[in-house]
Amino acid sequence: MRVLVTGGAGFIGSHLADRLLSDGHDVAVVDDLSTGHREFVPEDAAFFEADIRDAAALERVFAEFRPDAVSHQAAHASVGRSVREPAYDADVNILGTIRVVEACRRHAVSRLVFASSGGAIYGEADRPVPEDSPLLPKSPYGMSKLAGEHYVRFFAEEGGGTAVVLRYANVFGPRQDSGGEGGVISIFGERMLAAAPSTIFGDGEQTRDFVFVADVVDANVRSLTADSAPGVHTFNVGTGRNTTVNEVAARVAAAVRRQRVDAGLDSPVPTPTHGPERPGDLRANVVDPSRISYALGWKPRADFDAGLRKTVAWLAEQPGQDAG
Ligand code: NAD
């Protein structure tokens, strides 16, 4: 199959491109490199540096690559920036998604997978939320993701294709950005490897549902390749397990300690301190993955600590990372 991955120079999209190639598919990536990295794009994938909001550029990508299926991962993904610059967020996530949907319709793409966010659209959820729960996005990012879901549904309903909306929980793994607002695991990992202090916002008893990137990639691959009926299919992609930020910090510290011992180092890993709660932070957010498990046979297979060790090992290899 010929699969176009938008955002394939980013964290999740680049792992997806790797997996699709190793499964024998032809892969192309379109990415403007705004947060992605050219070196994350696998050598065997065709690469188009373009902004998804640029209809003419997207038209050239579709005409040249002629995808059978598209996995739309490209997005502006910072909640904080979406609050500061909601118009920019909407421009990329709503208008950009419309451009992708239009190109899919023009080029008779039969399947479109869309990366949405469970954390951003369900709001508070201290028990695993199923897909038909009320949707209460708190941030402009959540609102733009929810709007994107509707345009993707429109693609399926109007064009007779198959659309799959994947609502990810908190994804972690190698290649996740640890700068600014990146995933908490990468931030703790990078700080602890550098023996620098890290901060837990609030009491640390807030919970999240952490899912390893390889499992998210597997959900995408199943969504792209399953024998699914036309129409829209919406699935949560998470573990259904609550983990507190305090517990995550302790388990990242253990992975960092192990990494240091393996590297022949024994300097201590600093314990994080607690800072003020961040306004607007959710107290709990966990998604129920039963539907995708039933429909596509997906389940989270990665062991959490093994995923943490892989993430820490990758962070330790990054230039500028002082493991001493
Ligand atoms: P990322 O920032 O690493 O990847 C996004 C990619 O999109 C980057 O390579 C970036 O350069 C590209 N991009 C951004 N704007 C673009 C534009 N206008 N044109 C072309 N390319 C553009 O983020 P990620 O964590 O890999 O996220 C991938 C998808 O998953 C996003 O849609 C995000 O909203 C969604 N998501 C991520 C998480 C998570 O925990 N990481 C959770 C829920 C949903």
List, for residues 135-144, the tens digit of each pLDDT value: 999 999 999 9
Of 190, 178, 217, the C-alpha closest to 313 is 190
Question: Does residue 148 line the site of ligand 1, with CB under 6 A?
Answer: no
Of 74, 75, 69, the C-alpha closest to 26 is 69
Is the pLDDT at 47 greater than 50? The verdict is yes
User: What was the pLDDT predicted at 261?
Assistant: 87
Q: Which residue in 122, 141, 151, 168 is the catalytic one?
A: 141
Task: Name the residue of 168, 186, 286 whose CB sits within 8 Å of the most ligand 1 atoms, as the mutation to test its pocket.
Answer: 168
pLDDT tens per residue across span 143-153 = 999 999 999 99
Q: How far apart are the first and last CA of the chain?
A: 46
Q: How confident is the model at residue 95 (pLDDT cuts 50, 70, 90)?
A: very high
The DSSP letter of residue 237 is E
Q: How distant, in Å, are the alpha carbons of 49, 97, 193, 251 from that of 257?
A: 39, 42, 9, 10
Positive or negative, the Cα torsion across 59, 63, 68, 73? negative
User: What was the pLDDT predicted at 268?
Assistant: 84
Token pair listed for 270: 């600093």
Is the pLDDT at 321 greater than 90? The verdict is no
- 3-state SS class at 264: coil
What's the CA-to-centroid distance between 123 and ligand 1, angstroms?
Answer: 20
Average confidence (pLDDT) over 218-234: 96
Spell out where 178-283 has E strands.
199-201, 207-208, 210-212, 231-237, 243-244, 273-275
Nearest-angstrom CA–CA distance, 215 and 237: 8
Q: How confident is the model at residue 323 (pLDDT cuts 50, 70, 90)?
A: very low
Is the pLDDT at 282 greater than 80? The verdict is yes
Q: How confident is the model at residue 263 (pLDDT cuts 50, 70, 90)?
A: confident
Q: How confident is the model at residue 218 (pLDDT cuts 50, 70, 90)?
A: very high
Question: Does residue 248 line the site of ligand 1, with CB under 6 A?
Answer: no
Nearest-angstrom CA–CA distance, 77 and 81: 8
DSSP characters for 91-134? IIIIIHHHHHHHHHHHTT-SEEEEEEEHHHHH--EEEEEPTTS-
Is pLDDT larger for residue 160 or for residue 235?
A: 235
Is the pLDDT at 182 greater than 80? The verdict is no
Question: Does residue 89 line the site of ligand 1, with CB under 6 A?
Answer: no
141 catalytic residue (yes or no): yes
User: What was the pLDDT predicted at 324?
Assistant: 43
Question: Does residue 172 line the site of ligand 1, with CB under 6 A?
Answer: no
CA angle centred on 79, ends 75 and 85, rounded to 5°: 85
Nearest-angstrom CA–CA distance, 137 and 261: 43
User: What was the pLDDT predicted at 68?
Assistant: 98
